[in-house]
Amino acid sequence: MGVKIVQTAHAVPTKIMTNYDLSQIMDTSDEWIRSRTGISQRHIATTETTSSLCGQVAEQLLQQAQLPATALDFIVVCTMSPDYFTPATAAVVQGMIGATNAFAFDLNAACSGFVYGLSVVQHYFQTNKETYGLLIGGEVLSRLINWQDRSTAVLFGDGAAGVLLKNSHTPHLLASDLATFGDRGGQLTAGYRGGASQMVNSINQIMPYFQMDGRGIYSFATRGVPASIERALQQANLVADQVDHFILHQANTRIVAQVAKRLQQPLSKFPQNMAAYGNTSAASIPLLLDECVRAGQIEPGDVLVLSGFGGGLTVGTQIMIY
């Protein structure tokens, strides 16, 4: 038995913050941001939370499939910005939609989260029993941003997106490549909580905001992502020319262009939506996937490469037939 995507959906906060808006609160400009990142705007949560956005995605997926929540066997939420340490965001969503038969847990692999999640959940479909599950990436990264630091504040946005999965007699996930480089984890951090309780150490060791080595991450992504994709293609006995669409994590338009160049593929195979959403971490890949499906760019039978990279440091690739 394999696994296939039945439905896709996404949800974003209503508030939009443009590059011009950012230029009113920090030393930056629309031209400076767009020329370096390709980002023009991002959605920022006001009343929305990670769980509320993920809940909206879950409800959309069930409504589109005309499936009751009680038919779900599991819910997995990929996030690095949960509402709580506990309960898990997935558990909150499970209660929100009434999926009483589903077990639920969160997965944190930062911007690679959705790809890692696909690799994890496919093992639950090795049964002849009809099985359904939700895999959702959701983030409210605006809580982790220092709005005085233009090197990070201009990059990130909030949102959620996901898929309804079902087991299938035809294999759809063809190959997977996951890699973690924990020795380089300090190049991208957020939410540091310190090593001791305040009862033991009165010094405040909480550092909630993003800290990033931009050059280091760029170098990692432009080399690590093509290498991961090539390893996955080899597993699937495919070459890059046979891929219809490369759905990459939407962090920086320059990174996407470099990956296309290293793979010797036309940029037209690499759809992008970072201009409208910024970097939404674990929500990035499923958000782009949903937009491409809704626009008719992706059709059943297309060969897709999904590839993410980010904090950990992590990189991950899934090759699938949509």
Q: What is the pLDDT of residues 122-145, one digit of tens each?
A: 888 887 788 999 999 999 999 999
pLDDT for position 315: 97
Q: What is the mean pLDDT of the chain?
A: 93
Q: In 15-122, which ranges are E strands?
A: 16-18, 41-43, 74-78, 103-107
Catalytic-labelled residue, pool 10, 43, 245, 249: 249
The pLDDT > 70 percentage for the chain reads 96
Cβ contacts of residue 295 below 8 Å, gap of 6+?
Answer: none
Contact 81, 45 (CB under 8 A): no
CA distance 50 to 13: 10
For residues 86-110, give the mean pLDDT. 97
Q: Is 169 a catalytic residue?
A: no
What are the φ/ψ torsions at residue 156 (nearest 5 degrees)? -105, 155
pLDDT for position 207: 72
Least confident among 32-36, 193-197, 236-240: 193-197
pLDDT for position 201: 55
Judge whether residue 287 has pLDDT over 90. Answer: yes
pLDDT for position 263: 97
Q: pLDDT band at 170, cuts 50/70/90?
A: confident
Catalytic-labelled residue, pool 19, 108, 252, 279: 279
pLDDT for position 202: 52
Catalytic-labelled residue, pool 111, 167, 245, 252: 111
Instruction: Please tell me the total number of residues recorded for the chain in this structure.
Output: 322
Judge whether residue 194 has pLDDT over 80. Answer: no
Tokens 């909630």 correspond to what residue?
Answer: 208
pLDDT for position 203: 53
Q: Is 249 a catalytic residue?
A: yes
pLDDT greater at residue 255 or residue 201: 255
pLDDT for position 196: 56
Residue 319, strand partner residues: 175, 305
For residues 174-201, give the mean pLDDT. 81
Contact 133, 97 (CB under 8 A): no
pLDDT for position 321: 95
Q: Is 279 a catalytic residue?
A: yes
Contact 307, 225 (CB under 8 A): yes
Judge whether residue 157 has pLDDT over 60. Answer: yes
- Which of 152, 161, 140, 187 shows the shortest CA–CA distance to 273? 161
pLDDT greater at residue 65 or residue 1: 65
Q: Give the β-pairing of 173-180 and 16-18.
A: unpaired
CA distance 292 to 268: 13
For residues 56-81, give the mean pLDDT. 98
Which helix H or strand E contains 282, and what residues bound it? Answer: none
Q: pLDDT band at 195, cuts 50/70/90?
A: low
Q: Which two tokens stand for residue 148?
A: 């005085």
CA distance 132 to 76: 12
